[in-house]
Amino acid sequence: MCRHLGYLGPPVQLRNLIFDPPHALATQAWAPRDMRGGGTINADGFGVGWWPPGSGTAVRYRSAMPIWTDASLPALAAATSSPAILAAVRSATVGLPVVETAAAPFTDGRWLFSHNGVVRGWPSAVAAQARDLPVEDLLTLDAPTDSATIWALVRAKLRAGEPASKAVTTVVAEVAAAAPGSRLNLLLTDGAQLIATTVGHALSVRSLRDSTLISSEPLDPGPAWQPVPDGHLVVASATQVEITPL
């Protein structure tokens, strides 16, 4: 599957999430603790997105290589700070391409998106849903993968003006019905809010006084981490977290 995380709060260096904690995202790439049968390591690429100070548009750095092989990332992560971050490491579904453009986060303007899981029977299982997408969206998918398709479905609803939480929950419900047994842990942020789902995979939340961190696995053994039950939606800001059934 994959591992991902999202952060909102006071600006922190990327390294504070990717490298420094005892179970940082880079560690989860090669030593994950809770893959739930979805592979053994996350070596098929990575990505990190953030908002530069004063910018309303997210920027992104990603690669098809294992995160531990990127010689440039540690220096970038030490020199870059942001109040909003989304990062992911990838374990590609068997048969899908291992290319840079298949790695999350996917972007569109202020939005960053990640999918941790698999769509069973892709692509035929979700052909009916994809049929409603604009042809241009289908022709410009980041990659021919289930995750890129999920992003296209969510993005279409966001562009149509749906609230982020509704866009995510609607897509999850439609895909789960069309492709039973899919794993649909989605993570979406615009730099002000975090939207996450748990369908078939692990997720935890750490909510402090002025920051929220959502991660596939806790980054440290601290007591503030709260596991999110399967089949739930997380809607969070830097200071508030709401967890409800899907």
Residues annotated catalytic, as ranges: 2
Contact present, 49 and 107 (Cβ < 8 Å) = yes
Return the structure tokens found at 158. 């966001």
Q: How far is Cα 15 from Cα 74, in angstroms, rounded to an integer?
A: 7
H-state helical runs in 97-145: 127-130, 135-139
Q: How far is Cα 148 from Cα 15, in angstroms, rounded to an integer?
A: 26
Q: How far is Cα 30 from Cα 91, in angstroms, rounded to an integer?
A: 10
| 71 Cβ contact partners less than 8 Å away, ≥ 6 residues apart | none
